[in-house]
Amino acid sequence: MAHPLPRSVTIHPAARLQGRIRVPGDKSISHRALMLSAIAIGESRIEGLLEGEDVLATAAAMRAMGATISRGDDAIWRVHGVGVGGLLQPATALDMGNSGTSTRLLMGLVASHPITVTFTGDASLSGRPMNRVIAPLGLMGADITASPGGRLPLMVRGLCPAIPITYTLPVASAQVKSAVLLAGLNAPGITRVVEPVATRDHSERMLAGFGAQLTVEQSETGRVISIEGEANLKPQSITVPGDPSSAAFWMVAATIVPGSDVVIENVGLNATRAGLVTALRLMGADIEEQDARTVGGEPVADLRVRHATLRGIDVPHDLAPSMIDEYPALFVAASFAQGRTIARGADELRVKESDRIAVMLAALTANGVSCEEHEDGLTITGTGGEPIAGGATIASNLDHRIAMSMVVAGLHAQKAITIDDASPIATSFPNFFDLLQTLGGDATWG
């Protein structure tokens, strides 16, 4: 799945941002909804699915392995599943585009089915190591042949029946946890994952919702998630809440641009994903939760965010797992705070779509922000609320979150900021620039 041709975009300073917007459906939940619907027996309905390139890659992969998936004129997706153990041999390699989540979770699904699947991806995804998933799936009996460095293209030869294991996560990773649990669905007996540091729990919530026999217990070594194999999943009607990772950009934008008052509707506030809200509030952000409710088993609220003066903080390390994707946006917020913000504990940023520590360091420094690099994060000295210098052209490195973060930075800069290639934004947030315009932002395409 190739990216569209590169399109540069120049972001002009905004007078203020104002209005009500709704962000796309949560990407993590959208992936899992498609996958579990595809291995349930019967028709599931999914409302609010994120229709970005990453999630469409998951839909295409599940179709290639036998599921019937369609989108109605009512924007509801209908999935007829094949049942656990029913995945079919795909005719060709699965092109996962830029989606690391799709790749790692589908490796888990395939690992316990008697099929052989080759995974490919774009240049960015092909540079991301898969060893942390390969290791536990190998213990379960899957035969995985990867390119040098544990990278794509790679081939998974599943084993059926697979071997149930107890696996302690060496690093906090919801993707690795989910891959092992998905493999355990078609393995006889009990498969267990022990996570010393809790990560996002969408897989556990959704597996239980589909009828899997799953338990979560606390032990001296951490959370123990156990799943009983050879499951029969029942079809579901799923409503996907708004993606907190997408809402993050507008939370930061409304906070840093003077005079702003923005309401972001239907934002998922699962505690394992809400770390950025906590961090921004510690910095002094004005974020009000309105109409708190539960949607599809997930906590949701509308967020009213108004401009506020931020202060630098030492970001608590224990927030990292619940905001790992939001660090680029946090780095932008820190650029406008009073004093220094130390944001560390995020080694995982080095192996995302890009090395997000190095790339954000280069982007912010080029636009006049004072930064110090650490192996696991950045220390940033902010402007105290004044505009940053701006004026530079930055490289997005095929990373959607880098591109969107620097769009936000450009909204409060002395000179316009240009992003060399904004096309990767379509992977997760197809209407990002439409919402920017709705709120009063201004972008010029190159």
Closest CA to 423 of 391, 390, 445, 393: 445
Domain boundary pick from 170, 201, 228: 228
Strands lying side by side in the sheet with 298-306: 18-22, 261-268, 298-306, 286-295
Domain boundary pick from 194, 228, 262: 228
- Please tell me the predicted confidence (pLDDT) of residue 222: 95
Same domain, 73 and 152: yes
Closest CA to 56 of 77, 82, 84, 83: 77
Phi, psi of 281 (to 5 degrees): -65, -40
Same domain, 140 and 289: no
In a domain, 65, yes or no: yes
- Please tell me the predicted confidence (pLDDT) of residue 134: 98
- Mean pLDDT score of the chain, rounded to an integer? 96
- Please tell me the predicted confidence (pLDDT) of residue 5: 62
pLDDT digits (tens, 9 = 90+) for 232-257: 999 999 999 999 999 999 999 999 99
Residue 430's DSSP bridge partners are none
Same domain, 181 and 222: yes
Same domain, 298 and 186: no
- Please check whether residue 46 is in contact with residue 77, taking contact to mean a CB–CB distance below 8 angstroms: yes
Same domain, 261 and 394: yes
In a domain, 1, yes or no: no
Same domain, 165 and 271: no
Rounded Cα–Cα distance for residues 55 and 67 (Å): 15
- Please check whether residue 247 is in contact with residue 237, taking contact to mean a CB–CB distance below 8 angstroms: no
Q: Which residues of 327-365 are buried (b: 16+ CB within 10 A; e: fewer)?
A: bbbbbbbbbbbbebbbbbbbbbbeebbbbbbebbbbbbe
In a domain, 254, yes or no: yes
pLDDT digits (tens, 9 = 90+) for 130-185: 999 999 999 999 999 999 999 999 999 999 999 999 999 999 899 999 999 999 99
The rounded percent of the chain whose pLDDT value lies above 70 is 99
Residue 376: active-site member: no
In the block, residue with structure tokens 């156990």: 226
Same domain, 51 and 191: yes
Long-range contacts made by residues 362-370, C-beta under 8 angstroms, separation at least 24? 362/394, 362/395, 363/392, 363/394, 363/395, 363/402, 363/405, 363/406, 363/409, 364/331, 364/332, 364/335, 364/388, 364/409, 366/392, 366/394, 367/391, 367/392, 367/394, 367/406, 367/409, 367/413, 367/417, 369/335
How many other CB atoms are there within 10 angstroms of residue 309's CB atom? 16
Same domain, 196 and 307: no
In a domain, 423, yes or no: yes
Range of the domain at 384: 9-25+241-445
Tokens in use for 13? 């300073």
In a domain, 178, yes or no: yes
* Residue 54, phi-psi category: left (phi > 0), alpha (psi -120 to 50), beta (remainder): alpha
Same domain, 121 and 268: no
Same domain, 135 and 266: no
Would you say residue 2 has pLDDT above 60? no
Domain boundary pick from 202, 228, 254: 228
In a domain, 258, yes or no: yes
Rounded Cα–Cα distance for residues 87 and 30 (Å): 19
Rounded Cα–Cα distance for residues 164 and 181 (Å): 10
Which residues define the annotated binding site for 3-phosphoshikimate? 27-28, 32, 173, 175, 325, 352
Bond from prior residue into 153 cis (ω within 30 degrees of 0) = yes
Confidence of residue 297 (pLDDT cuts 50, 70, 90): confident
pLDDT digits (tens, 9 = 90+) for 359-388: 999 999 999 999 999 999 999 999 999 999
Same domain, 417 and 337: yes
In a domain, 236, yes or no: no
Q: Which candidate in 95, 243, 325, 399 is catalytic?
A: 325
Confidence of residue 296 (pLDDT cuts 50, 70, 90): confident
pLDDT digits (tens, 9 = 90+) for 397-421: 999 999 999 999 999 999 999 999 9
In a domain, 233, yes or no: no
CATH number (domain holding residue 277):
3.65.10.10
Tokens in use for 329? 């946006």
- Please check whether residue 178 is in contact with residue 103, taking contact to mean a CB–CB distance below 8 angstroms: no
The pLDDT of 124-130, averaged and rounded, is: 93
Would you say residue 3 has pLDDT above 70? no
Domains of the chain: total: 2
Closest CA to 315 of 256, 272, 248, 379: 379
pTM: 0.88
- Please tell me the predicted confidence (pLDDT) of residue 4: 59
pLDDT digits (tens, 9 = 90+) for 34-72: 999 999 999 999 999 999 999 999 999 999 999 999 999
Please list, in sequence order, all residues whose beta carbon lies within 8 angstroms of the beta carbon of residue 10, skipping any fewer than 6 positions away: 410, 416, 417, 418, 419, 443, 444, 445, 446
Same domain, 133 and 279: no
